Structure 1
Amino acid sequence: MAILYQHFGKQINTELGKEASYLAYGVEQNGVDYLNQIKEKDDRITYIAEDGTVLYDNQADASSMENNSDRKEIQEALKSGSGRAERDSKTLSQKTIYYALRLSDNTVLRVSSTQFSVWVLLMEMVPPMIGIAVVMLILAGLVSMHMANKIVEPINNVDLEHPEENQIYEEVGPLLSKIYKQNRQIRSQLEAARRNQEEFTIITENMQEGLLVIDSYTMILSGNSSAWKMFQMQKPRIGECVYSLNRGEEFRLMIEQVLRGEHGSVRLHLGGEVIQMIANPVTREQRVEGAVLLLINETEKVEREQLRREFSANVSHELMTPLTAVSGFAEIIRNGMVRQEDVQKFAGRIYDEAQRLIALIEDTIRVSQLDEGETPYDWEELDVCQVVRDVCGRLKEIADKKNVHFYIDGDKTMLYSVRPILDEIIYNLCDNGIKYNKEDGTVSIHLRDLGEQVEIRVKDNGIGIPPEDQKRVFERFYRVDKSHSKEIGGTGLGLSIVKHGVGFLGGTLDLASEIDKGSEITMTFPKERKTV
């Protein structure tokens, strides 16, 4: 801008000199009339007398203008023939350049032109310069984006899964080589982790015990299907709080204890089952990071323990009763407190109690043999209908005393079984049907050939079994009505022998009963013996 400004200033001076020369020639030839004919008013033309009086001005009234004899360019022109001057206008931010030429009659012809300051020119150029700059920036951005995309395109298209197969810039080679080595290491580690995870999953998913892993914030990190089943959860609860599984106080206190770094165990009751939970903390650098919870279903163990205690109590009670009677009667006879004619009566009582004791011991032994799968009998082809008829024949006298009638529904039905066990099963069911029946009741035995199976159904219309006792009637020595057990008689092992006998023969057992409507027991046996 500075160079152009100086250049334009010199050019204006040169043009003003030429213009003044042309005008001077016309004025000397034609006078002021020549100036009046000029229509262009871009430059200011002033014609001044020798004493400084303005004779003509193309942009102002000459008569009202002040004397110009003191002007620098006029004085120089009168002395040397031409003069130049420059004057700045502070208000208009422009500069006026004057060129004066003396004529032959000592008058002066002055031509002037204005030139804006460099700042004004610069301000006038700012808008187009800004526009040009914006366009240049946009073009530069577009070009740079295009060039950058071209440069990074090969890098963006690098196959990081197979970096060794990429052919791009030589400078990127070391990086790709390192990525390749890292990929191999990562794949190896992932494969090892996957195998470990699969092995862990296989082990935990095949565990009957439940397994849970929690962090120090009680969040569940891992668990197997057995754990979800024990807590009766339909789907895994990974990532949830362990308290969402159980909100019992015992469970909560055990979680708090193990997260304090203390081992412990607690017995939980979940949905009717007894679960033993063993909790062990997981520590790292003497800091508790979480815990491992092992859940063991001890329902069967607790039930067996309960049954063992009940069995011990029952068998002791059942044995004690006849033994007490035998001991008492014998003691009375020994002390001579019985008349001679009553000795036979007391001996008969001792014999009855001894027989009851023998029957109890025989039934206990029989149940134990069936439970262990040991019997001295052979398997053979049997006609179930004939076995049923034989049993009913042996029980007819007892049934007649209570006026209970037998009905047999079925014909010859062959079954490969063990006669004494099958006989004992049917006998006990029919005997119970008589004992727990009403006066003038019925016991019906239905036989059905199902092709590969035989169904035996024993039904009575007696007193029935309450729903709460139906699950326990097959336990040893369990009696529904203990107050009438002595009146009814028996050892309390009849249905237990039935259950173990059906199991020994490979059959299934189902009980249906209603109070005052009777009971129905359905047994299904395979026609052929299933051997392992």
Structure 2
Amino acid sequence: MKKDIFLRIFITCAVVILLVCAVMAGMFAVTKERDIVDNMRESLGIMIGACDTTADGETLAARMKELSGSRITIVGPDGTVLGDSDENAQALENHGGREEIKEAKTKGIGVAKRRSDTFLTRMVYVAVKSGDNIYRMARTNGEVTQTLLGLWPMALVAVGVALAVALLLSRYAANRAMRPLLETVDAVTVQMNPTGDRIGTVDTSSLEEISPLIRTIDEMNEDITRARNKLSTQRDQNRFILDSMEQGLIFVDPGMKVILVNVSARSFLGEQGEAEGLDFIHLTREMKLYDSVSLAVKEGRSCIFDLDLRRTAGAIVEVRVSPVRESWIGGGKAERRGAVVVLTDVTQSRQMDEMRREFVANASHELKTPITSIKGFAELLAAGLVRDDRKAHEYLLRIRDESQRMTSIIEDILKLSSLEAEEYHPPRSQVDLIDVSKEAAEHMAPEAEKAQVAVTVEGENITLTACREDIYQMISNLMDNAIKYNRPGGYVKVRVHRVGDKAKIVVEDNGIGIAPEHQGRIFERFYRVDKGRSRKVGGTGLGLSIVKHVAASLGGEISVRSREGKGTTITITLPQPPPTGGGEIAL
């Protein structure tokens, strides 16, 4: 725009300069011709007064030419040429019809400019009447041309200087014309700092011609600033919400480029760098995930599947891939497709499903043996095949024992189910750990005596707010295991004491111990280190699972220390209540 303004002004100035030069040249030519005419008229008057006008026309014309240096023609009253300084008068035609001659007859002086047929050039004629005759002087117009040609170098210099001045003035005028707009642009530009906040308004005091435009731009700028700040806030809010999601979220465009990926998705896929703008393959090396996204983009297919990322992210992830129109994610064409990927951590759910399957299988297996045994003995008795009363009584006792075993398994299963239920809220009271331990020891006394194992309880009176039945079952299950997996002459020691801000229940035995490879799994349901021995001693395989759940419900922790053939020590650590005293019992 500035260049266009400059060119227009310069061309206008150049045309004006050239027009002025042409007008001045014309005016100079007219003035020069007027001076020539005046000079010719004065010369004729002087020569007419100085010469003898009674002489012969030819002689008088020649004499006057000598004095003036110009062609002289003497014409009679009837237009006859009486004498001519340059031509034979008798050969010349009658000049009565010539313009200057006719004007001289009426006005005394006549002037004409025309092309001469004799000299074939443009001539200036001045005729003066004196007496009856008319005296005419003729000069060529070349004097004017020669004068103009003489002035041409100076005229060129003047035009060049004028054009140079016009060039500078045009540039100045263009800058002057553009300055208000440039100041407006600069003012509008500096209204924004890099963060998009306004830092001022445009001063229109010196820009009166375009102040309405500036005010309009300023108002638009304010609207843009508000919209920009609002969009920035919304973008930050949306990003915060997406990054706060536990689910992973990924948007992919039709070119398989990552548009957005939140923090959870990065964590699942183990990607810490910037992935936006890169191909989806840079985000994951899981080909099943890549292929499913590719199918969603190219063919519009949706899919759901689990992805085991426990080796990299420690989680099992449910993947949902769905195609979406590009206009929803990037403002592109509606007919093109991108994809959205949702990653959900289902580790706990899948582990619980697996545990339920194992639990059902183990429970079915544990119940199948006593049920089969009961069925067999009952069929024998019902068929009347047992004739011996002693044998029949033995079978009935076996049925009773197997029924008791089934009852124990079912009771433990129900107990575990209640402990795992979120709505499990048993009645609580003040429970003295040492008293409960002594009660459990007294209950286990017959079994300990039968197994030839000594049980002792020692420690402090520590009170907890808990369900007494749960505490009792937890301690009795630990004692029961310690007695069953012991040897004749062995011992079981139960200690209750404080350590720092914790209360500890320690159950120690010198029994058969647990191999290192089994120690991490003994609290699983139905897990047995020695399955043959477990069935022989009548365990359900759920006792330690119940212990773990009771301790967890009280906010406690369990640790195991064991050596094969040397014994086992299991420690339960619970939140510490205030101290109240101590005591000891030996069985």
TM-score, L = length of structure 2: 0.59
Aligned partner of 2:229 in structure 1 is 191
Aligned partner of 1:387 in structure 2 is 436
- Asked if 1:364 corresponds to 2:413, the answer is yes
Secondary structure of 1:158's aligned partner:
helix
Output aligned runs, 1:497-512, within 5 Å: 497-504=546-553, 506-512=554-560
Structure 1 residue 493 displacement after superposition: 1.3
Distance 1:292 1:482 in 2: 50
* CA-to-aligned-CA distance 1:61-93 (integer Å, 9 cap, x gap): xxxxxxxxxxxxxxxxxxxxxxxxxxxxxxxxx
User: What amino acid maps onto 1:158 in structure 2?
Assistant: A
Structure 1 residue 166 displacement after superposition: 4.6
Query: Structure 1 residues 514, 290: closer, same or farther in 2, change over 3 A?
Result: farther
User: What amino acid maps onto 1:348 in structure 2?
Assistant: L
Secondary structure of 2:187's aligned partner:
coil
Query: Structure 1 residues 454, 310: closer, same or farther in 2, change over 3 A?
Result: same
Aligned partner of 1:299 in structure 2 is 347
* CA-to-aligned-CA distance 1:20-75 (integer Å, 9 cap, x gap): xxxxxxxxxxxxxxxxxxxxxxxxxxxxxxxxxxxxxxxxxxxxxxxxxxxxxxxx
Query: Is contact 1:254-1:266 (8 Å) kept?
Result: no
Secondary structure of 2:397's aligned partner:
helix
Query: Structure 1 residues 340, 401: closer, same or farther in 2, change over 3 A?
Result: closer
What is the RMSD of the two structures over their aligned residues, measured on CA atoms? 3.7
Aligned length: 394
**Pick aligned residue for 2:320 from 278, 301, 320:** 278
Structure 1 residue 447 displacement after superposition: 2.2
Aligned partner of 2:525 in structure 1 is 476
* CA-to-aligned-CA distance 1:334-387 (integer Å, 9 cap, x gap): 222221232221111111111111212222222223233677964222321122
Output aligned runs, 1:487-526, within 5 Å: 487-504=536-553, 506-514=554-562, 516=564, 518-526=567-575
Secondary structure of 2:528's aligned partner:
coil
Output aligned runs, 1:66-465, within 5 Å: 154=183, 158=187, 160=189, 161=191, 162-234=200-272, 237-260=275-298, 261-271=300-310, 272-283=314-325, 284=327, 285-338=333-386, 339-372=388-421, 378-437=427-486, 440-449=489-498, 453-465=502-514
Query: Is contact 1:465-1:515 (8 Å) kept?
Result: yes
* CA-to-aligned-CA distance 1:236-277 (integer Å, 9 cap, x gap): 644444323321221221121122132222321112422111
Secondary structure of 1:410's aligned partner:
strand
Query: Structure 1 residues 492, 174: closer, same or farther in 2, change over 3 A?
Result: same
Query: Is contact 1:210-1:227 (8 Å) kept?
Result: yes
Distance 1:227 1:466 in 2: 40
Query: Structure 1 residues 312, 419: closer, same or farther in 2, change over 3 A?
Result: same
Distance 1:468 1:229 in 2: 32
Query: Structure 1 residues 183, 413: closer, same or farther in 2, change over 3 A?
Result: same
Identity of aligned residues (%): 32
Aligned partner of 2:69 in structure 1 is none
Query: Structure 1 residues 341, 430: closer, same or farther in 2, change over 3 A?
Result: closer
Distance 1:376 1:185 in 2: 59
Structure 2 residue ranges without an equivalent (≥5): 1-160, 192-199, 328-332, 579-587
User: What amino acid maps onto 1:254 in structure 2?
Assistant: S
User: What amino acid maps onto 1:412 in structure 2?
Assistant: N
Secondary structure of 1:411's aligned partner:
strand
Aligned partner of 2:48 in structure 1 is none
Structure 1 residue 200 displacement after superposition: 2.1
Query: Structure 1 residues 206, 151: closer, same or farther in 2, change over 3 A?
Result: closer
Secondary structure of 1:275's aligned partner:
strand
Query: Is contact 1:415-1:454 (8 Å) kept?
Result: no
TM-score, L = length of structure 1: 0.64
User: What amino acid maps onto 1:385 in structure 2?
Assistant: I
User: What amino acid maps onto 1:274 in structure 2?
Assistant: I
Structure 1 residue 151 displacement after superposition: 5.3
Structure 1 residue 309 displacement after superposition: 1.5
Structure 1 residue 327 displacement after superposition: 1.4
Structure 1 residue 394 displacement after superposition: 2.6
Query: Is contact 1:218-1:241 (8 Å) kept?
Result: yes
Query: Structure 1 residues 230, 481: closer, same or farther in 2, change over 3 A?
Result: farther
Distance 1:231 1:464 in 2: 42
Distance 2:342 2:362 in 1: 36
Distance 1:173 1:308 in 2: 79
Query: Structure 1 residues 229, 514: closer, same or farther in 2, change over 3 A?
Result: farther
Structure 1 residue ranges without an equivalent (≥5): 1-132
